[in-house]
Structure 1
Amino acid sequence: MPSHSLPAFDPRKVPLLPRAPNEMPAHAQRLTADGLRDLFIRPPIWSPELLREKRFADRAPAQAAVLLPIVLRERLTLLLTLRSAHLSTHSGQIALPGGKLDAGDADATAAALRETHEEIGLPPDRVEVLGSLPVYVTGTSYTVTPVVGLVHPEFELVPNADEVDDVFEVPLDFLMDPANHHRHVHEFQGTVREWYSMPYDDSGRERFIWGATAGMLRNFYRLLSA
């Protein structure tokens, strides 16, 4: 990721906090298509870890939705995007596809599917929606509903070059293993902030997943490990 696309500080260099002890990876059965389907039909008792970031943007609140597109490969993967560097918020960062709700959207699920189609060309009929996670409020005042869906393979993506620089996949079991979750602490604009990152080596290219995306994935891990 080029340096000009990063925020005022480089999140890769921010100090780490100690790991939480005795955290186990997500249950192996839940890292399968049938396990995920059953999870949303009969969810366990669980609590999300992260619900709201400290606000750092002076803008009006907005409703948004993102899709957690889990691709049905032999080893399940999660589809992620690299946002274009010129975007007004979260530019140059790795993200889940999605965006703001429009007046014509029936609900958050409809918005997530529409925005994903507009961003990367994934047809809604290739997505089997399982359910949603608790809303997550970003520091930029977006109230985001994360929608979880299984993506049937043999799709052809057409990324919108105005919004997306790249689309790639990360194994779901990597993201749902707390050994790959790093906690950071940093003082920024007079406020101490903490966040997670999940750096992934994609054939020699570092994919630095952090901030709101990592926060929502951390909540997903909490559900899968409950």
Structure 2
Amino acid sequence: MPPIDPSIPVEIPADTPGDTPLSKLPNFDPKAVPVIAVDSHLPPIAPHILAGPALRERFANPRAYEPEIYREKRFVDRPPALAAVLVPIVQRERPMVLLTERTSHLSNHSGQIAFPGGRRDDTDVDFADTALREATEEIGLDRGAAEVIGEMPVYLTGTGFIVTPVFALVAPDYKLTLNEYEVADAFEVPLDFLMNPANHRRHAVEWANARREWLSMPYDDAGTERFIWGATAAMLRNFYRFLSA
């Protein structure tokens, strides 16, 4: 599948009868769905490739690759909307990815682990501008603390968003002020953990004559399980493919 150009209108199939987002199914707990496979046969990304200078170079001179997961089955019947997320890679000795936990009352992806981001505004200059603005609004990340190094092909969510992942190197002394309406928590996960397929678990569930499959990357954060799954895990998996090319 060639990368999708977000400047070109995309026709996303409308709902099929019985379609419901997994996170909205009654009593559905993605953590309880059995693991059908773990991708430990794939090699992890070498630590030197995850360092800031190497990431900057890889985005400046990308190698040919194909996103592995680029769209979800459509859950809602509304016009597609352009959006962007910021993938903030904190420049510690061991690089970390800054993630958020969305509050439980939000209409889209409530309670899930996510990158800061959202819908593109008409006043945004580009998708990097969207991602940085949303990160400032959601978690109070100062633009001056983030160096944008590149973007990856769009990801189409089941809720109708055409999401451009924007990658940035973030200074380790960053400060946050969470928007309590949207964000319940913000935390860091080691990039080498996320770029090791031995931590990529595959799940599947069937209902209403349909089968849904997804990845999860659960991380033990000092006794708190950070259950990374869905679109966030898919975009991280695509980043793995980008770096392993």
Q: How does the TM-score come out when normalised to structure 2?
A: 0.87
Letter in 2 for 1:207: R
**1:136-182, CA deviations, whole angstroms, 9 ceiling, x for partnerless residues?**
00011110000000001212100000100000000000000000001
Cα distance, 1:67 vs structure 2:
0.5
Q: Check conservation: 1:126, 1:155, Cα contact below 8 A.
A: yes
1:119 corresponds to which letter in structure 2? E
The secondary structure found in structure 2 opposite 1:56 is coil
Query: Which stretch shows the higher mean deviation, 15-24 or 177-186?
Result: 15-24
Q: CA deviation at 1:22?
A: 3.1
* Corresponding position of 1:71: 90
Counterpart amino acid of 1:15? P
Of 54, 61, 66, the residue aligned with 2:80 is 61
Match of 1:176 in 2: 195
Provide the rounded CA distance (Å) in 2 between the counterparts of 1:188 and 1:171.
Answer: 35
Query: Which runs of no fewer than 5 residues in structure 1 stay unpaired?
Result: 1-5
Structural mapping, 1:16-35, within 5 Å: 16-20=35-39, 22-35=41-54
Find the residue that maps to 2:150 and give its secondary structure: strand
Task: Kindly provide the amino acid, as one letter, of the partner of residue 105 in structure 2.
Answer: H
1:50 maps to 69
Retained in 2: the 8 A contact 1:27–1:225?
no
Q: Which amino acid aligns with 2:233?
A: A
Q: 2:110 aligns with which of 86, 91, 98?
A: 91
Amino acid at match of 2:104: A
Cα RMSD over matched residues? Answer: 1.3
* Structure 2 partner of 1:108: 127
Match for residue 147 of structure 1? 166
TM alignment of 1:210-221, pairs within 5 A: 210-221=229-240
Please give the secondary structure, in 2, of the residue aligned with 1:165. Answer: strand
Identity of aligned residues (%): 57
Which whole-Å CA distance do the structure 2 matches of 1:142 and 1:189 have between them? 24
Counterpart among 143, 158, 162 of residue 124 in structure 1: 143
| Structure 1 pair 85–23 and aligned structure 2 pair: CA distance change class (3 A) | same
Alignment deviations for residues 166-208 of structure 1 (CA, whole Å, 9 cap, x no partner) = 0000000000000000111112454211111000000001000
Q: Which amino acid aligns with 1:204?
A: G
Q: Secondary structure at the match of 2:217?
A: strand
- Equivalent-residue separation in structure 2 for 1:18 and 1:162 (angstroms): 36
Structure 2: tracts of 5 or more residues without a match? 1-22
Partner of 2:19: none
